[in-house]
Amino acid sequence: MYDTVIFDYGNTLCEMGSLSGSLKAILKSQHAEKIGDLIERSIQELYIPEQVEQPNWIDVWQKAFHEYKLEFDKSIGLKHLNHFVDSGRLYQYSIPLLEALHNQGTKLILLSNVTGSTEVFQRDLINRGLAKYFDSIIWSSEIGYRKPSRQAFEIALESVGSLAKNSIMVGDSEIADIRGAQLVGISTVLISDLKNTESRASHVVNQANILDQLIRLTHMSPSPVNRQ
């Protein structure tokens, strides 16, 4: 039914760490944790239906540092971001799922909102062994548009020549991933381990059944080697 799967990254394929905790680990300041909290809140405030453009991450960091009368340097921000991505962990299903879909010929796109250096997140994707599975990798920091904007999803589809009706979006955010994809006619899968999850998504899955459900939706059967 679907020949293309679009994946979110953070908290869909990789459980992300804490920006607050990472800044506290690398910055010698009594305000480190509070600055990290402010950065996290600023990023969370971007997850609204009307947010189209991706802000420059340096502006977000500078504003938070200046709030506590501290000078900001890009090198500190990069050190912070690298610690943050390194503190994340892949979900157990991520590689088997991507491998199964890739092996059956499904086109795979990564479409992720990131407020940070594109190079840092791309390095993380490569180091975790995920980049090789994707036909297209799109970071909001690179294209200048965030999910749930139509522009972000249209760029994703165009990058591999896929049609919305033949594509399905997999993510954890009701606003960014589910409602955004539906704006352009893409079917959706919300991943959530919460019981009785209310969602507008076409399908709701959890960590235990996501592999089987996505293989079913792409009309193939997983091979034993991918069911570890």
Written as one letter, the residue type at 117 is S
pTM, 2 dp? 0.93
CB-CB contact of 127 with 134 (8 Å): no
Average pLDDT over the chain reads 95
Is there a contact between 93 and 210 (Cβ–Cβ < 8 Å)?
Answer: yes
H/E element holding 15? strand 14-15
Fold of the domain built from segment(s) 4-15+89-226: Rossmann fold (3.40.50)
SS3 at position 3: coil
Average pLDDT score over residue span 143-164: 98
- For residues 16 and 223, what is the distance between their CA atoms, to the nearest angstrom? 29
49-92 tens-digit pLDDT: 999 999 999 999 999 999 999 999 999 999 999 999 999 999 99
Domain ranges of the chain: 4-15+89-226, 19-86
